[in-house]
């Protein structure tokens, strides 16, 4: 497969999305992305490295997501990376609003992005969509029930839509591994330091994501497999 040149990533302000943005841009790809953090978006737009347009955006704001997608060429690679993980709490003690927010951002926010970008990609008949799920999307873990529910939902969403896209496309639910980001530190505490930083992770993740294509459509994949 020819390497994509036009890449859109959600959640570019930090963690995996930021590392991917910088890695792809350094290799000549045109990267656009979005996140809510104003300062990080400003820094990306002013950086001499990442070439592209970065937008301050909440994925829950569906009209804003639609408007954002309308300003961009349908990407060859769309990475739905943005996500949240609620603090470790047993389900019966978990605030209902936190549970709902988990599903809102991870599932409905991602659905907003897919709804905004897929029609253009499908009309062209090419492109790969990667949705970051998790081990928690295929197995259960205690105290992160909302996160597990949301990531299982994303696996199902991808596998369903995979049967609707044209032959030249792919939508892939993808487990990125375990990486030392703010999200992991919030969940694992000190133990997070045992895991690679995003800048190390991206050296294997970047090429792996670029290699995905129609052969992987609908497959539940994990980095390194």
Ligand X SMILES: NC(=O)c1ccc[n+]([C@@H]2O[C@H](COP(=O)([O-])OP(=O)(O)OC[C@H]3O[C@@H](n4cnc5c(N)ncnc54)[C@H](OP(=O)(O)O)[C@@H]3O)[C@@H](O)[C@H]2O)c1
Residues carrying an active site annotation: 147
**16 binding ligand X? (CB under 6 A):** yes
Q: Residue 122, Cα to own-chain centre: how many angstroms?
A: 19
Could you tell me which residues come within 8 angstroms of residue 42 by beta carbon, excluding any fewer than 6 positions away? none
Bridge partners of residue 33, in order along the sequence:
9, 54
**31 binding ligand X? (CB under 6 A):** no
- Judged by beta carbon, residue 11 or residue 127, the one nearer ligand X is 11
**178 binding ligand X? (CB under 6 A):** yes
Binding piece for ligand X, criterion CB under 6 A, among 35-43, 111-119, 165-173, 210-218 = 35-43
Q: Which residue is closest to ligand X by CB? A: 15
**35 binding ligand X? (CB under 6 A):** yes
Distance between CA atoms of residues 4 and 212, nearest Å: 10
Could you tell me which residues come within 8 angstroms of residue 36 by beta carbon, excluding any fewer than 6 positions away? 13, 56, 57, 58
> Least distance to ligand X from the beta carbon of 192, Å?
8
Distance between CA atoms of residues 19 and 39, nearest Å: 16
Q: Which of 4, 8, 9, 11 touches ligand X by CB under 6 A?
A: 11
**184 binding ligand X? (CB under 6 A):** yes
Residue with tokens 């997608």: 69
Region for 125 from its dihedrals, namely left if φ exceeds 0, alpha if ψ lies in -120 to 50, beta otherwise: left
**105 binding ligand X? (CB under 6 A):** yes
Which of 28, 35, 58, 16 lies closest to 204, judged by CA?
16
> Least distance to ligand X from the beta carbon of 174, Å?
9
Which of 196, 188, 211 lies closest to 77, judged by CA?
211
Binding piece for ligand X, criterion CB under 6 A, among 10-18, 47-55, 160-168, 211-219 = 10-18
In three-state secondary structure terms, 173 is strand
Bridge partners of residue 127, in order along the sequence:
169
**206 binding ligand X? (CB under 6 A):** no
Q: Which of 4, 52, 74, 109 touches ligand X by CB under 6 A?
A: 109
Residue with tokens 């696996």: 155
**14 binding ligand X? (CB under 6 A):** yes
In three-state secondary structure terms, 213 is coil
- Judged by beta carbon, residue 81 or residue 126, the one nearer ligand X is 81
> Least distance to ligand X from the beta carbon of 215, Å?
23
Binding site for ligand X (CB under 6 A): 10-17, 35-37, 40, 57-60, 81-84, 105, 109, 132, 134, 176, 178-179, 181-184
């Amino acid at each position: 497969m020819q390497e994509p040149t036009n890449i859109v990533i959600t959640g570019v302000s930090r963690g995996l999305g930021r590392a991917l943005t910088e890695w792809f841009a350094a290799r000549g790809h045109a990267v656009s992305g979005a996140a809510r953090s104003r300062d990080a978006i400003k820094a990306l737009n002013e950086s001499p490295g990442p070439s592209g347009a970065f937008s301050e955006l909440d994925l829950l704001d569906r009209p804003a997501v639609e408007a954002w997608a309308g300003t961009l060429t349908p990407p060859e690679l769309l990475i739905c990376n943005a996500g949240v993980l609620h603090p470790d709490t047993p389900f019966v003690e978990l605030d209902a609003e936190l549970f709902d927010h988990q599903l809102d951002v991870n599932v409905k926010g991602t659905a907003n992005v897919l709804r905004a970008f897929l029609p253009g990609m499908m009309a062209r008949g090419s492109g790969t969509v990667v949705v970051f799920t998790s081990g928690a999307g295929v197995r259960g873990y205690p105290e992160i029930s909302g996160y597990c529910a949301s990531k299982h939902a994303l696996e199902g969403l991808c596998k369903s839509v995979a049967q609707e896209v044209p032959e030249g496309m792919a939508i892939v639910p993808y487990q990125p591994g375990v990486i030392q980001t703010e999200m992991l530190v919030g969940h694992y505490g000190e133990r997070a330091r045992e895991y690679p930083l995003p800048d190390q992770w991206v050296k294997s993740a970047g090429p792996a994501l670029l290699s995905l294509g129609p052969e992987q459509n609908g497959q539940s994949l994990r980095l390194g497999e």
